[in-house]
Structure 1
Amino acid sequence: MYIPPYHAETDVSTVLSLIETQPLGAWVTVGADGLIANHIPFILDRGRGELGTLRAHVSRANPVWQQLSREVDSLVMFQGPHAYITPSWYPTRLTEGKVVPTWNYVVAHAHGQAHAIEDPHWIAQLLFDLTEHSEAQQAMPWKLADAPQDFIQCLARAVVGIEIPISKLQGKWKLSQDEAMADRLGTVEGLAALGDANSVALAHLVRQQIK
């Protein structure tokens, strides 16, 4: 990923936080016939490895777990808030006119050697952890124990675990850092005025970069 210095997010904890809050990863690995891409939710274990370890599961019917490369690392991409930025928010369009549209976004790229895990105890713990993490914000969190155990065990046998110790972590926070200050402030106002959760979150991130 191309990252100009002013767009680089070098704080590891900040990048890992994006993974935790946006757990659906675009996972790309190399198989027998070339690149394989899957979109699956990951859970991050910060306590395992210098940069943490990603855990997930795929259907046993998905051939990806049998084709994992031992020579080329996998890449998992996590996308945060993003939006089109219109020059109509830039005050300098009226004075200088040298403005063009852009796109603001935050992304995390995690690299690492992926391997498959078929151990039923590992898979059971993953399913528990993933459910607990995903249900945490619900008013009445659903738990694995709420379903018949033979039903859960049957489904668990139909999946394979995936573990990726993170060996390289990149963060790109493209948040108007290379624009004039007046235009950056205009971007904050424009995004906030849109009112939707994504735009408001992005406005907050742009404001943080200004501060």
Structure 2
Amino acid sequence: MYLPPHFKMDELGAIHAAMRASRLATLVTATADGLVGTPLPMILSESEGEFGTLYGHVARPNPQWKLPAIGQAMAIFTGPDAYVTPSWYVTKAEHGKVVPTWNYVAVHAYGEVEFFEDADRLLDIVTRLTNLHESSRRERWQVSDAPDDFIRAQLRGIVGLRMPVTRIDAKRKMSQNRKLEDRAGVIAGLGASDDPVDREVAAMIPTQ
């Protein structure tokens, strides 16, 4: 990922927060058959390793886990994004030398990926994933709400993965390269949008 200095994220806590906020990642591996990618929710264990460790699972019929990975895998996390029209820039009226762009947050995490079939490890992962995504609900569903034999049968249909992260590229492109007056115009434009993601991006643009 291209990382100009003014867009690069360096603080690990902020990077981890962006990864956690991206509820669906994409796992990409290079194989002898070409690139393979799978969208999937992942858990970040921040205390394991220098950059954390990722956990998740794929469907057993998914060929990705059976194809030996060439080199490291990459997990892609994306955050809020929005189109930025140059019509919002003060500098458009000054000289017209402006073009459209896109504001976004993206994190690419790299590491060797391990696939496993152990039922107890799989149960731990699906329980942690469920608890994570049910945590904001008033009436939370738990894995233990379903019959044990049903859950065990479901576990036979998935394969787990563990990926210790050894390198991270992280980018937060939020108009930092524009002067404050242009940023104010982008904030006002996105803030007036009917799209809640546009408004979320507006709130992420620095004002100083």
* Structures share fold, TM-score greater than 0.5: yes
Q: CA deviation at 1:115?
A: 0.9
* Other-structure match for 1:90: 89
Q: Is 1:210 the counterpart of 2:203 in the alignment? A: no
* Other-structure match for 2:40: 40
Unaligned runs of 5+ in 2: none
* Other-structure match for 1:79: 78
Q: CA deviation at 1:93?
A: 1.2
Q: CA deviation at 1:4?
A: 0.5
Alignment partner of 2:95: what SS? coil
Q: CA deviation at 1:197?
A: 2.1
Aligned residues with identical type, % of pairs: 37
Alignment partner of 2:199: what SS? helix
* Other-structure match for 2:12: 12
The TM-score normalised by the length of structure 2 is 0.96
Q: Is 1:102 the counterpart of 2:101 in the alignment? A: yes
* Other-structure match for 1:132: 131
Please tell me the residue identity of whatever aligns with 1:210: T
Cα contact 1:68–1:115 (8 A) shared by 2: no
Cα contact 1:45–1:54 (8 A) shared by 2: yes
Measured in 1, the distance between the counterparts of 2:86 and 2:189 equals 10
Q: CA deviation at 1:21?
A: 1.3
Alignment partner of 2:204: what SS? helix
Alignment partner of 2:75: what SS? strand
Unaligned runs of 5+ in 1: none
* Other-structure match for 1:120: 119
Measured in 1, the distance between the counterparts of 2:39 and 2:184 equals 35
* Other-structure match for 1:22: 22
Measured in 1, the distance between the counterparts of 2:84 and 2:66 equals 42
The TM-score normalised by the length of structure 1 is 0.95
Cα contact 1:68–1:114 (8 A) shared by 2: no
* Other-structure match for 2:3: 3
* Other-structure match for 1:168: 167
- CA deviation map 1:60-82 (0-9, x unaligned): 1111112132x510011111000
Measured in 1, the distance between the counterparts of 2:184 and 2:68 equals 46
Q: CA deviation at 1:27?
A: 1.2
